[in-house]
Amino acid sequence: MNKQWFKVIAGVLGLSMVLVACGGAKEEKKTAGEGQQKEELPMVELVWNFPLSAIPQDLDTVQEAVNKITKGKINATVKLKAHTFADYNQKMNTVVASGESYDIAWTANWNWDYLQNQSKGAFLELDDLLNSNAPGLLKSMPEFVWDAAKIQGKVYGVPNYQTVTKREGFIIQKRFADKYSLDVSSIKKLEDIEPFLKQIKEGESAEIVPFLNDKYGRFNIMPQSLGMEAITANNIIGVDLKNPETPINLYETEQYKHYLDTMRNWYTKGYINENAATLKNKNDIIQTGNAAVQFHNVLKPGGEVEAKAANGGNDVIYVPLTEPYASTGTVITTMQAINKNSKNPERAMMFINLLNTDKELYNTISFGVEGKHYTKVSDNVIQVNKDGGYAPNAGWVFGNTFNGYLVEGVDPAVLEETKKANESATKSPLMGFKFDSTPVMAEIANLATVIDQYLPALETGTWDPNEKLKEFQDKLKQAGTDKVMDELAKQIKAWKQTK
């Protein structure tokens, strides 16, 4: 009896192992010839994975139009595989693990992590390909953008060049600013807005929220205005920009205490929405047009137009507190990488090159087909047809956004201003550094639990920081902040040496 059972189990296990092994075996990468001429290129099909807010209904028409262009230029067709942002991570992990073939995939530091997947060996090293197959691409972006994309000195992903800066400050509804004749130039730091909040609280109906906050707090998006840069997940550990080699616990700084006191003060005075500590999706409130003042970290040129739509059609003004700032994190928010097992890496690189340098291709993939998905208002300005079945409204997923048409209503000067902001931005002293959290994974997870427990109520002013801040800091310490700081210091040191 026992023997029989053993045989059955052994058989089942053996069979499953064979199945796994078969599936895992991948075709060997072919070494392809270099320096081929365009005419000699054999026809290939590339597969490109990327995420969007929603999968467009009319992707087929766009794919056809894209292929018409690529066939003529690099004799390749492209299969567009669109996913949603929420599914993307899981889907791509499965694709990579199962060895399913694809050529190009979108990656970033906030979705399907660039660093993590590179260390798993998912991406092809691109430096040689860039030099030989993408002549225009290298020059199309400033040097520091390429620096930010480097992992241990090598490029594994091509950034989609767009706004690479952050600028922190207030988004204020114009109607209130006008009504109370707000002097914008008087606002230099967070607490300068307080008199205005007071006016709104006293002068407007109860449904208007003077200062909108949600459960994620605002502190994590204002390190720059406080002279710091956050590095680890959950923004626990970062550096003081004056001394960028020594990691600090952001939640133990003077600035944090000051932020909490300000929030507590505003909360008790009723300037902050009462449900802030439990509010997950603040967009529902913003949409009603009831949020008078918000703090945001990406006040980019021309953003007021987008913000108007998001604020229920109310005009807004931007009041920045900082100058544009660029760091690794602001650059690698959207990139294209090539699959290590791609059968046609050269062609994939040529395609990425086109995406970033060919206006016709970029506009087709970003806006669809003229007449069907958009109409031209003038030479460079278009109007998007919302019912056309293709309106991804996210050109930054695809390539260099500076090649794109302007959507009607956006100030034509925006592109120039963005470019200028990118080039003139203050660069982080840690540009290019990426923190690998694998050695301290357990600590990071523990810290996340503590954060979940304390942060929402503390950062919205719901709790009195005098009572709870100490407790929060102690818990963080217990969960292992010291170990994370040590690891970070070690990695910064190692990174400095590779520079």
Partner 1 sequence: MPTSQVAINKKTANRFIESKQSRWSSRIINLFFCLLSILFIIPLLLVISISFTDEKTLLQSGYQLIPEKFSLAAYSLIFDSPGVLLNAYGITILVTVIGTVIGLFLTSLTAYTISRKDYRYRKIMTFFVFFTTLFSGGLVPFYIMVTQYLHLKDTIGALIVPYLLSPFFILVMKGFMDKIPLEVIESAKMDGASEWRIFFTMVIPLSLPAMVTIGLFISFQYWNDWWLGLLFIDNQNLIPLQLMLYRVMSTIEYLSNNLSSVNVSIDMTQFPSLSTRMAMAVLAAGPMMLVFPFFQKYFISGLTVGSVKG
Q: Which is nearer to partner 1, 75 or 426 (CB)?
A: 426
Q: How far apart are CA 324 and CA 322, in angstroms?
A: 7
Least distance in angstroms from the C-beta of 207 to partner 1: 6
Among 10, 86, 413, 494, binds partner 1 (CB under 8 A): 86
Identify the CA nearest to 407 among candidates 392, 426, 428, 424.
392
Choose the binding region for partner 1 from 131-139, 238-246, 248-256, 327-335 (rule: CB under 8 A): 327-335
Amino acid at 145: V
Amino acid at 407: V
- Kindly state whether residue 310 participates in binding partner 1, applying the rule CB under 8 A: yes
- Kindly state whether residue 330 participates in binding partner 1, applying the rule CB under 8 A: yes
Residue 243 CB neighbour total at 10 angstroms = 10
Least distance in angstroms from the C-beta of 188 to partner 1: 23
DSSP single-letter state for residue 103: S
Least distance in angstroms from the C-beta of 100 to partner 1: 7
Q: Which is nearer to partner 1, 95 or 348 (CB)?
A: 95
Choose the binding region for partner 1 from 11-19, 244-252, 370-378, 453-461 (rule: CB under 8 A): 11-19
Site string for partner 1, 220-259 (x = CB under 8 A): xx-------------x------------------------
- Kindly state whether residue 419 participates in binding partner 1, applying the rule CB under 8 A: no
Residue 409 CB neighbour total at 10 angstroms = 13
- Kindly state whether residue 6 participates in binding partner 1, applying the rule CB under 8 A: no
- Kindly state whether residue 77 participates in binding partner 1, applying the rule CB under 8 A: no
- Kindly state whether residue 97 participates in binding partner 1, applying the rule CB under 8 A: yes
- Kindly state whether residue 334 participates in binding partner 1, applying the rule CB under 8 A: yes
Q: How far is CA 351 from CA 18, 66, 365, 388, 442, in A?
A: 37, 11, 12, 26, 40
CA angle 384, 317, 413 (to 5 degrees): 55
Q: Which is nearer to partner 1, 284 or 467 (CB)?
A: 284
Residue 207 CB neighbour total at 10 angstroms = 9
Applying CB under 8 A, the site for partner 1 has a residue count of 65
Q: How far apart are CA 87 and CA 214, in angstroms?
A: 24
User: Scanning the structure block, which residue is given the tokens 């199309």?
Assistant: 140
- Kindly state whether residue 81 participates in binding partner 1, applying the rule CB under 8 A: yes
Identify the CA nearest to 140 among candidates 354, 425, 413, 398.
354
- Kindly state whether residue 94 participates in binding partner 1, applying the rule CB under 8 A: yes
Q: How far is CA 300 from CA 17, 98, 170, 266, 282, in A?
A: 53, 40, 12, 27, 20
Q: How far apart are CA 468 and CA 457, in angstroms?
A: 10
- Kindly state whether residue 110 participates in binding partner 1, applying the rule CB under 8 A: yes
Note whether 363 and 405 are within 8 A (CB).
Answer: yes
Distance of CA 204 to the CA centre of its chain: 36
User: Scanning the structure block, which residue is given the tokens 């992590």?
Assistant: 113
Q: Which is nearer to partner 1, 57 or 380 (CB)?
A: 57
Contact set with partner 1 (CB under 8 A): 4-5, 8-9, 12, 16, 19-20, 23-24, 53-55, 57, 59, 81, 84-87, 90-91, 94, 97-100, 108, 110-111, 162-166, 207, 216, 220-221, 235, 280-285, 287-288, 290, 296-298, 300, 303, 306, 309-310, 330, 333-334, 387, 391, 393-394, 396
